[in-house]
Amino acid sequence: MPRQKLVIVGNGMAGIRCLEEILKIDPDRFDVTVFGNEPYPNYNRIQLSKVLQGDTVLEDITLNSWDWYEKNDIRLYPGETVIEIDQDNHLVKTDKNRITPYDKLILATGSNPFILPLPGVDKKGVITFRNIKDCLKIIEYSKRSKDAVVIGGGLLGLESARGLLDLGLNVKVVHISDYLMNRQLDKTASHLLQLQLEKQGMEFLLNKKTVEITGNEYADGLKFSDGDELKADLVIMAVGIRPNIKLAEENGIPTHRGIIVNDFMETKIPDIYAVGECVEHQGCCYGLVAPLYQQGKVLANHLCEEKTDGYTGSIDSAKLKVSGVDVFSAGQINEQENTKTIKSYDGWGMTYKKVLVENGKIKGAILFGDTRESTHLSRLINKEADVKEYLNTETEKNSETSVVCSMQDDEIICGCNGVEKGTIVQAIKEKGLTTVAQVKACTNASRSCGTCKSLVADLLKLTIGDEFDSTKKEEPICECTTMTRDEVVSAIRTMGLTNVREVMNVLDWENKEGCSKCRPAINYYLNMVNPSHYVDDQESRFVNERMHANIQMNGTYSVVPRMYGGVTNSDELRKIADIADKYQVPMIKLTGGQRIDLLGVDKEDLPKMWKDLNMRSGFAYAKSVRTVKTCVGEKFCRFGTQDSIDMGIQLEKKFEGLNTPHKVKMGVSACPRSCAESGIKDVGVIGVQGGWEIYVGGNGGTKLRTADLLCKVKESGEVLEYAGAFLQYYRENAKYLERTSAWIERVGIEHVRDVLSSKETRDQLNQRMDEALSTIEDPWASVLSNKETQKKLYQKVYVGGNEK
Amino acid sequence: MGKNVFVTKYSQLPVNLGKTVLIGEKNIALFKLSNGKVYAIENRCPHREGVLAEGMISGEYVFCPMHNWKIGIVDGVVQEPDEGCVRTFPVKIQNDDIFIVIEDLDSQSIKYPDKCVYNESFNE
Ligand SMILES: Cc1cc2nc3c(=O)[nH]c(=O)nc-3n(C[C@H](O)[C@H](O)[C@H](O)COP(=O)(O)OP(=O)(O)OC[C@H]3O[C@@H](n4cnc5c(N)ncnc54)[C@H](O)[C@@H]3O)c2cc1C
Ligand code: FES
């Protein structure tokens, strides 16, 4: 059956959340097309306040990356506006004349900022605050302005006023009511708020009605109904929003204040649905994400034919995102005849609490200064709890350490996304999460306004306790992050991260660009987790691995061709000699791993030499399996008990070019005299009467270490099996740049023996090893087949005619 | 006065991978960063003369491929805990052409970063 065509108009927070919910329930059900008239992927509109306040940057507020759309097969038309809906033929038409058919249509067109119809509002320097474009405009204007005025003393107005202060402007807020945030607060709370904000440097003009914006081309001031005037070269209009119903209205979909929907988000027209701020449900329009996300979930279930109770409306609750000010309000805020209140006020400490009770039920609350009770109160208000329940918990709560301790499993931690404590705890336990970033990726908690981050952190501490601490004792992988190797790898696995930048972004790297420590490590881990699909990130490779040659002191390179097991022949030697002459190689030397090293080669000559050599790369430069050193063995040696050369060649051919956390050196000797120094190799094999001994974790370098016996086997096939399983286990568990010797010291040889003693485990490890091996290409050949790479990496620019 | 020397096309310069540029005797590392900006600095680490064009780039810094010194690409200043600096060269971009501005070496106008009092590695 062909998939049903789903079209979403509006690439914003509600529409895309609904889509995410659909994909969660039934990813293959719909063929999805999204139109959004902003030229960006879905971003976190809420955080625009924080962008203005300088706490975050635009690059970091993306919620769904371009990759996400692609990965989920979603056709996205950014920067395109839907202008017509043809209900009869089930088609939508855009301003770019695109016509797209739909089986189901979701309108998620959000709202528009309300602009007061005053003379002068169209002057330059009068800006609303709704989207990225507005945000950029404000930042741009702030550079040449001094006196900013914000019209509107609500949430949005105050948050933008704080941003303007941070941009270095003088800021006055003009408000029509006689107290700030009059929709969310009472006078007492509002008064405290005003004091707090005045301390931060804001000025307020209350009870003022603007009647005109003055100026020529640019705004230069305001006039008020009482005749007063005010100077201003930047005016932010933040007086409220109106549901964006234009498209619906013009196309015969019934609207009132918003697009009218029922409990299942159906409009009055079949197959057309609406969700988000553009919606009116039972006479209510909402302007915060929590209710919109609830609507999105209901609609997703409905479209996927899953049963729900439908959407039954939400109680508004709000927090102000201005640092240094904690305000919360929910539900009913003003006393009526039959309401009783529980209040406490501390004018010195500037805290205030008011809980409204009606007929013994909790109906609303305002908190100022100390908002720790906010999640708890939200829940009680939402379920209209009995006041006794509140009073009980209030006395119970003695220590302040963590509100999350005393919370019930079904209490909401993240209000925006409606994530309950139980859900987070379960995810932490089942998926082994250890950081706030991971919890965010797995549960959506803290993904919107972010005020709940500290609660999530408390919950992590509470849930994994000691473990939380002990994992923290592990060093982070570098200074760019606080995450350890294990945390990074598990995040890559659980979140399916696919490139270095994404890892640094999603896991909140403090240094966004990473450093020479973490980037190569992340690059390795990504490849290790998903060898078949990962595309190597050249920019995150050390010079040697990027150039496939060893850089020397003077900026020249060395070339080591592959010679399996250290075996060569006269033709090969002649060829190498000729090439050394041709390129005037200053030094030819035998390496410790039984290879020939051509030293002092200019980078531009590298590809040419490889071509002439026509041999495979010896990987002498890489964090990879390097050489398998062999002794002569039973073919010629009078003591030899096994064919060490053949065994060595088999090993080298099999593991050639494998990415490993650090370099891996191997040796195969045919008797315990161990001429190939098998006892100080990462993997050393020694032939004995009737079989082989396999040693691991040896090191002949700075930290001399004798290898440990891993096991004894009979057949050469078993040597390959054990070596494969060992190397794969090392690949999956060691830290990047940890040699096998250090790793074995850390985890203990008994542990490794234990793991590898199970045939089943060995087989699984080898299976994953085979996948990794199947992706390996000879890097020299790859460079030779790609002119672009040759140019990019090996060519210099000459000016002044000294080209070679 | 400096002279503008054409070096390469902007569109052909890879991002976050340095390019070695030789102008006469001068060895210069040219970088196009992820923000799209182009900078030119002396291709020689003040530590032990590592070739910076081959270093790993992180934002506006390059890590020397020899011993991992971290050097500011924009101002040439070596980052703590190490010390020193490399010379920077002004870059001009016109249409798709990248020019490096080479100062007359005898003139006093050679610009060292403020932090750099004395630069041993650049007394040509
Ligand atoms: C500065 C700021 C701070 C905020 N802070 C908070 C907060 O702390 N907590 C909170 O809960 N909420 C907050 N909000 C509100 C929250 O961002 C909105 O409730 C939410 O974004 C609404 O989601 P939506 O999908 O309904 O609309 P939007 O996110 O506005 O998405 C609608 C999209 O549809 C596009 N569109 C409209 N018509 C068409 C068409 N015909 N064709 C194609 N595309 C179209 C629009 O361009 C827009 O991109 C804040 C908002 C702002 C601006
Ligand atoms: S409460 Fe807003 S993101 Fe969690």
Q: Give the distance from CA A654 to its chain's centroid.
A: 36
Is residue B111 in a domain?
no
Q: Give pLDDT, residue A38.
A: 95
Share of chain A above pLDDT 70, in %: 97
Q: Give the distance from CA A387 to its chain's centroid.
A: 42
Q: Which residues of chain A have pLDDT under 70?
A: 1, 393-402, 466-474, 801-804
Contact partners, residue A803, CB within 8 Å, separation at least 6: none
Is residue B92 in a domain?
yes
Mean pLDDT of chain B: 81
Closest CA to A524 of A672, A302, A763, A736: A736
Is residue B110 in a domain?
no
C-alpha pair distances (Å), A654 with each of A256, A684, A706, A770, A772: 71, 15, 25, 9, 11
Number of domains into which chain B is organized: 1
Q: Could you tell me which CATH class the domain A126-239 is placed in? A: alpha beta
> Does the Cβ of A126 fall within 6 Å of ligand 2?
no
CA dist., res. A180 & res. A182, Å (int): 5
Q: Give pLDDT, residue B1.
A: 58
| Residue A475 burial (CB count, 10 A) | 10
Condensed to tens digits (0 to 9), the pLDDT of residues A354-384 reads 999 999 999 999 999 988 888 888 888 988 8
Out of B7, B12, B14, closest to residue A799 by CB: B7
Asked if A552 contacts A558 with a C-beta cutoff of 8 angstroms, the reply is: yes
Q: Give pLDDT, residue A466.
A: 55
Rg (CA), chain A: 34
b/e map of A487-508 (b: 16 or more CB within 10 Å)? bbbbbbeebebbbbbbbbbbbe
Is residue B114 in a domain?
no
Count Cα atoms within 13 angstroms, Cβ side, for A639. 12
For residue A613 the two structure tokens come to: 């050599």
Closest CA to A240 of A161, A157, A340: A157
> Could B19 and A797 be called an inter-chain contact, meaning their C-beta atoms sit closer than 8 Å?
yes
CA dihedral A591, A594, A599, A601 (to 10 degrees): -140
Backbone dihedral region of A325: left (phi > 0), alpha (psi from -120 to 50 degrees) or beta? Answer: beta
Q: Give pLDDT, residue A801.
A: 54
CA dist., res. A156 & res. A441, Å (int): 27
Q: Give pLDDT, residue A105.
A: 98
Rg (CA), chain B: 14
Closest CA to A694 of A682, A91, A610, A251: A682
Contact partners, residue A368, CB within 8 Å, separation at least 6: A185, A189, A192, A193, A326, A327, A328, A350, A351, A352, A353
Is residue B76 in a domain?
yes
CA dist., res. A706 & res. A695, Å (int): 9
CA–centroid distance, A419 to ligand 2, in Å, is: 9
Q: Give pLDDT, residue A348.
A: 85
> Could B56 and A800 be called an inter-chain contact, meaning their C-beta atoms sit closer than 8 Å?
no
State yes or no: pLDDT of B117 exceeds 60: no
Q: Give pLDDT, residue A458.
A: 85
| Residue A371 burial (CB count, 10 A) | 19
Asked if A610 contacts A778 with a C-beta cutoff of 8 angstroms, the reply is: no
Condensed to tens digits (0 to 9), the pLDDT of residues A32-59 reads 999 999 999 999 999 999 899 888 888 8
State yes or no: pLDDT of B113 exceeds 60: no
- Nearest C-alpha of chain B: how many angstroms from A648? 33
Sign of CA pseudo-dihedral A676, A680, A682, A688 = positive
Closest CA to A676 of A622, A640, A704: A640
Q: Give pLDDT, residue A400.
A: 46
CATH code of the domain occupying A4-111+243-303: 3.50.50.60
CA–centroid distance, A111 to ligand 1, in Å, is: 6
> Does the Cβ of A436 fall within 6 Å of ligand 2?
no
Condensed to tens digits (0 to 9), the pLDDT of residues A117-129 reads 999 999 999 999 9
A624-773 adopts what CATH topology? Answer: Sulfite Reductase Hemoprotein; domain 1 (3.30.413)
CA dist., res. A232 & res. A221, Å (int): 4
Is residue B119 in a domain?
no
Q: Give pLDDT, residue A214.
A: 95
Condensed to tens digits (0 to 9), the pLDDT of residues A604-628 reads 999 999 999 999 999 999 999 999 9
Asked if A776 contacts A720 with a C-beta cutoff of 8 angstroms, the reply is: no
Out of B17, B49, B70, closest to residue A539 by CB: B17
Q: Give pLDDT, residue A370.
A: 87
What domain range includes position B53?
Answer: 3-102
CATH number at residue B86: 2.102.10.10
> Could A555 and B21 be called an inter-chain contact, meaning their C-beta atoms sit closer than 8 Å?
no
CA dist., res. A751 & res. A225, Å (int): 81
Is residue B56 in a domain?
yes
C-alpha pair distances (Å), A440 with each of A310, A445, A450, A507: 26, 5, 10, 10
Q: Give pLDDT, residue B116.
A: 44
Condensed to tens digits (0 to 9), the pLDDT of residues A750-783 reads 899 999 999 999 999 999 999 999 999 999 999 9
CA dist., res. A372 & res. B8, Å (int): 60
CATH code of the domain occupying A396-471: 1.10.10.1100
| Site from A478, A480, A504, A516 to mutate, B interface, most B CB atoms within 10 angstroms | A516
| Site from A799, A803, A804 to mutate, B interface, most B CB atoms within 10 angstroms | A799
Q: Give pLDDT, residue A395.
A: 52
